[in-house]
Structure 1
Amino acid sequence: MTSAEAGARQPVRFVSGDTECAAWHYPGTNGACVIMAGGFAVPKEPATDLFARRFHDAGFSVLAFDYRGVGESGGQPRLVLPVKNQLADWEAAIAFAASLPGVDPGRLALWGFSASGGHVIRVAARHPRLAAVIAQTPNVGGPAAMRSVTSHQKPLAMLRFTGRAVADAVGALVGRRPLLVPLAGEPGAVAMLVTPDVLDGPGALDPDNRHPDWQQKVAARSALRLAFYQPGRDASRVRSPLLVLTCDQDQTAPPGPAIDAARRAPSAELVRLPGRHYAPFVEMHEQAVEAELSFLRRHLLDQLTEIATSDL
């Protein structure tokens, strides 16, 4: 961490379940707060730093957290990531953000990408008073993502992965340690994802190798469960303003289900960018940031100004 970063953010922790989640708090100046988390097993630093700094520079408070079992958060066994626990971590993060000094509880926004981009849709369906929600290259349809994976994976490797996931799930019943698989690999590898763009991840999220402790693995049982997760089905129940940002050549989180989710949500905006899954972190970063900042300003700041003006 640079000295400038150290002055801009503070380590904090909040309770979720029977342990604590670790987070960075960037105190802002405009009263609004963006709550952020990374992809399925990606710690907060490589996942959120790039966007969190830009949001904070624009005056927003930011709370960027690690899920239980990931990064600096508590929780055992490590890298076993039930979706229900991650959703509960979002609930705890929302409550904690609302209590932060200088934060207006009525102006909270969620930001997630990839698997977390799906989570924020499901969480927002339960929290209609959220001021804004951003789902960036979200995985909102597990079966569609699985079809993309299987179209690039070799049959024997898929069988080996499934066997490992089943063995991991059975082993959990008798207290065995998790069987981990890499988050990404080449076709033929026993890995969670083998789509062409998934190998862009380390270079996009950690180009300078500043996070050598990032263990790029996940419990096989958790990876298998994600294949059946479809948070896009909750889009019609999201009453908060929702920004869905997709990339046209994304093969890790195919854009079709996310586009459909945006069409079903009552107050959604859709931004389509060229590029693959991690393009918003690399060649499309400025376009993504500007779209997201514009959305946040309109829904977290401009409406407040309109209310104040109408009261004069």
Structure 2
Amino acid sequence: MRHDIEFHTTDGTLLRGWHYVPDGSGPFPTVVMATGLSGVKEGGRLPDLAGRFAAAGLAAVVYDHRNLGSSEGTPRQEIDPLLQMRDYSDAVTFAESLPRTDPDRIGAWGSSLSGGHVIVLAGQDRRVRAIVAQVPMVSGRECGQRLVPAPALAAAAAFHRADRRARMAGGEPAMIPVASPDPAAPAALPTPDSWEFVQKDNDFPTYRNEVTLRSMELLTGYEPALLIERVSPTPMLMIVAEDDLVCPPELQLAAYSRAHEPKRYVGVRGGHFDVYRETPAFDLAADAAVTFFTEHLGAPA
């Protein structure tokens, strides 16, 4: 069963989403979930995954990040990873308040950028009893350098400077596409599979193929891997796509190698976006997440 939910963060921003509840009276172990980068809760097969959790006896709180989708917050389409990560902690607090949640059995699932968020969250918030980090963005700086050629990064400095001045003067923030059909054009995710995913898999009324230019600066300074050694003793599952062009597998594996037990690694064939489609990669990743959370959060009371 799915219910609409909304809750305020500690800074007053209203976030909206869904609460998936298994059959029965509970209280249930509960997984907090949100999408990566510019995604919305309708995409990335989050409804399918949350439904699988519910079928296995795990409730789920799924929500849109601030500034995106059905959630409130301004500037619209701005990705502030530190604020998004803090909102995860507020989502845990909200989940605790739900009468059908077992507050001692809360987990967190994240993918891509939010895969990095749950690593940071688990390193700081011991209320979280298990995490699944799927194709996680573990280093904003390293991912940015590998996605964008050095000359383009240098040229972008002038645009960022102009954007700062315009915003300080009260102007609207400059925008950049998430993905573009032109591989040479500026984009947050300048890979061919990013454009294909945006075109084919994000046909939702609340989705927009753009983020603020400032988002790219904020992402560049976000380093979830710096906290990965602090995740333990919270159990962590990391799911890595072998041909990931957005979040390079070697960066994820290097971070995983530094994490302490208990931890588990699952590799899936395909690229970054195959875990969001009707593919064997999605099924393998979903089954692994269900098994991991059931093992570490337990079955319904």
With normalisation by structure 1, the TM-score equals: 0.87
CA–CA separation in structure 1 for the residues paired with 2:187 and 2:158: 12
Select 1:143's aligned residue among 141, 144, 147.
141
What does 1:140-289 correspond to in 2, within 5 Å?
A: 140-151=138-149, 155=151, 158=153, 161-185=156-180, 186-202=182-198, 205-206=201-202, 209=203, 211-239=204-232, 240-266=234-260, 267-282=262-277, 283=279, 284-289=281-286
CA–CA separation in structure 2 for the residues paired with 1:150 and 1:100: 43
**What's 1:87 paired with?**
85
Number of positions where the alignment pairs a residue of Structure 1 with one of Structure 2: 291
1:170 is paired with a residue whose SS is: helix
Cα distance, 1:148 vs structure 2: 2.1
- C-alpha change, 1:191 and 1:23, in structure 2 (3 Å) is same
With normalisation by structure 2, the TM-score equals: 0.90
CA–CA separation in structure 1 for the residues paired with 2:21 and 2:156: 43
More contact order relative to length (CA 8 Å, sep ≥ 6): 2
- C-alpha change, 1:35 and 1:127, in structure 2 (3 Å) is same
Cα distance, 1:82 vs structure 2: 1.9
Please tell me whether the aligned partners of residues 158 and 190 of structure 1 are also in contact (alpha carbons under 8 angstroms): no
Deviates more, 1:173-182 or 1:102-111: 173-182
RMSD across aligned positions (CA): 2.0
Deviates more, 1:44-53 or 1:16-25: 44-53
Q: Deviations over 1:180-238 (max 9, x none)?
A: 111112321121111233224236643xx3x1331121100112321232111100000
What residue identity is the alignment partner of 2:124?
A: R
CA–CA separation in structure 2 for the residues paired with 1:174 and 1:79: 20
- C-alpha change, 1:199 and 1:150, in structure 2 (3 Å) is same
What residue identity is the alignment partner of 1:42?
A: G
Please tell me whether the aligned partners of residues 175 and 212 of structure 2 are also in contact (alpha carbons under 8 angstroms): yes
Please tell me whether the aligned partners of residues 49 and 286 of structure 2 are also in contact (alpha carbons under 8 angstroms): yes
Cα distance, 1:61 vs structure 2: 0.8
1:301 aligns with 2:298: yes
CA–CA separation in structure 2 for the residues paired with 1:201 and 1:56: 26
Q: Deviations over 1:146-169 (max 9, x none)?
A: 132125x9x4x5555443333223
CA–CA separation in structure 2 for the residues paired with 1:169 and 1:83: 18
Cα distance, 1:81 vs structure 2: 2.5
Please tell me whether the aligned partners of residues 108 and 118 of structure 2 are also in contact (alpha carbons under 8 angstroms): yes
Cα distance, 1:50 vs structure 2: 2.8
CA–CA separation in structure 1 for the residues paired with 2:85 and 2:252: 19
Select 2:32's aligned residue among 32, 35, 39.
35
**What's 2:97 paired with?**
99
What residue identity is the alignment partner of 2:244?
A: D
Q: Deviations over 1:120-174 (max 9, x none)?
A: 10111011241210110011012221132125x9x4x555544333322332222
**What's 1:292 paired with?**
289
Q: Deviations over 1:49-83 (max 9, x none)?
A: 23112212222111011111111111122112222
What residue identity is the alignment partner of 2:187?
A: A
**What's 2:117 paired with?**
119
What residue identity is the alignment partner of 1:187?
A: P
What residue identity is the alignment partner of 1:238?
A: V
Deviates more, 1:231-240 or 1:261-270: 261-270
